[in-house]
Chains A and B, each alone.
Chain A
Amino acid sequence: MDYKPVKTFNELAVKSLDDFIYGIAPYPVTAKNGMVIGGGAVYPEINMTLPPITVDESTMPEVRKQYAEMIEGILKRAKALHAPGIIVELELLPPTTIEPKWGIEINKILREKMYEYEEKYGLKSLLRCTPNDTREIMRPPLMRRGDLLESIFTTFEKCAEDGADILSIETTGGKEVHDEALVTCDIRKAIFALGVLGVRDMRFIWSKIVEIAEQTGSIAGGDTACGFANTALALAEQSMIPRVFAAVDRVATVPRTLAGFEVGAVGPDKDCGYEGPYMKAIAGVPISMEGKTAACAHLSSIGNVAACVCDMWSNESVQNIKLLSAPAPVVYTEQLIYDCRLMNEAAAEGRSYALKLRDWLADSDSRLDPQAYVLRPDIVLEISKELVKEKDAFIATKKAAALAVDVLKRGMAAGEVQVLPKEKKWLDIISSQIETIPDDWQEFWHEMQKELDLSKWRPEEYDLEVTAAKTASAG
Chain B
Amino acid sequence: MSDFSNKWIINEYRKLRQAVVSGDRVLVLKTVRQLLESGVDPLRVVNQGLVSGMDAVGNMFRDNEMFMPDVLMSARAMNEGINLVRRIRRTPARRPLGKIVIGTVSGDIHDIGKNVVKIMLENGGFLVYDQGVNVEPRQFADAVKKHKAQILALSAQLTTAMLNMKTTIAAVEAAGMKDKVKVIIGGSATFQDFADEIGAHGYAPDASAAVHRCRELLESNSCGRQRGPNLKIVK
User: Footprint of B on A, CB under 8 Å?
Assistant: 49-55, 93-95, 134, 136-137, 139, 179, 182-186, 231, 235, 238-242, 298, 319, 422
Interface residues of B in 55-76 (CB under 8 A from A): 64-69, 72
Instruction: List 15 other contacts, CB 8 Å, given A136-B111, A139-B132.
Output: A50-B159, A54-B107, A54-B163, A93-B160, A94-B158, A134-B109, A137-B109, A183-B68, A183-B69, A183-B116, A183-B119, A184-B69, A240-B68, A240-B116, A298-B188
Most buried by A among B111, B167, B189: B111
Interface string of B103-133 (1 = CB under 8 A from A): 0000111011001100100000000000011
Query: When A94-B134, A179-B112, A183-B115 are in contact, do A235 and B68 touch as well, CB less than 8 Å?
Result: yes
Interchain Cβ contacts under 8 Å between A and B, 27 examples? A49-B158, A50-B160, A52-B159, A52-B160, A53-B160, A53-B163, A54-B161, A54-B164, A54-B167, A55-B160, A93-B158, A94-B108, A94-B158, A134-B109, A136-B111, A139-B132, A179-B112, A183-B116, A185-B67, A186-B69, A235-B68, A235-B112, A239-B67, A241-B68, A241-B69, A298-B188, A319-B159
Collect the chain A residues with CB atoms within 8 Å of residue B115's CB.
179, 183
Give the residue name and chain of the A residue nearest to B73 (CB). A184
- A336 CB to nearest chain B CB (Å): 21
Collect the chain B residues with CB atoms within 8 Å of residue A50's CB.
159-160
Collect the chain A residues with CB atoms within 8 Å of residue B119's CB.
183
B195 is an interface residue with CB less than 8 A from chain A: no
Collect the chain A residues with CB atoms within 8 Å of residue B66's CB.
422
Per the bound structure, the CA–CA distance linking A217 and B115 in Å amounts to 41
B24 is an interface residue with CB less than 8 A from chain A: no
Collect the chain B residues with CB atoms within 8 Å of residue A422's CB.
65-67
Interface residues of B in 66-110 (CB under 8 A from A): 66-69, 72, 107-109
Query: When A52-B189, A139-B132 are in contact, do A239 and B160 touch as well, CB less than 8 Å?
Result: no
Collect the chain B residues with CB atoms within 8 Å of residue A134's CB.
109
Interface residues of B in 143-158 (CB under 8 A from A): 158
Give the residue name and chain of the B residue nearest to A185 (CB). B69
Residue of B65, B133, B160 near A95 (CB, 8 A) is B160
Query: When A52-B189, A235-B68, A241-B67 are in contact, do A183 and B112 touch as well, CB less than 8 Å?
Result: yes
Per the bound structure, the CA–CA distance linking A319 and B162 in Å amounts to 13
B206 is an interface residue with CB less than 8 A from chain A: yes
Most buried by A among B65, B69, B119, B163: B69
The interface on chain B, measured as residues whose beta carbon lies within 8 A of the other chain's beta carbons, has a size of: 31
Residue of A49, A139, A231, A298 near B159 (CB, 8 A) is A49
Per the bound structure, the CA–CA distance linking A351 and B8 in Å amounts to 72
Per the bound structure, the CA–CA distance linking A94 and B164 in Å amounts to 14
Per the bound structure, the CA–CA distance linking A183 and B111 in Å amounts to 12
Per the bound structure, the CA–CA distance linking A45 and B72 in Å amounts to 40
Give the residue name and chain of the A residue nearest to B163 (CB). A54
Query: When A235-B112, A239-B64, A240-B67 are in contact, do A54 and B160 touch as well, CB less than 8 Å?
Result: yes
A94 touching B68, Cβ below 8 Å: no
Give the residue name and chain of the B residue nearest to A179 (CB). B112
Per the bound structure, the CA–CA distance linking A53 and B107 in Å amounts to 11
- B120 CB to nearest chain A CB (Å): 10
Collect the chain A residues with CB atoms within 8 Å of residue B160's CB.
49-50, 52-55, 93, 95
- A322 CB to nearest chain B CB (Å): 14
Per the bound structure, the CA–CA distance linking A184 and B76 in Å amounts to 12
5 closest residue pairs by CB, A with B: A239-B64, A185-B69, A240-B68, A54-B163, A52-B159
B112 touching A52, Cβ below 8 Å: no
B159 touching A185, Cβ below 8 Å: no
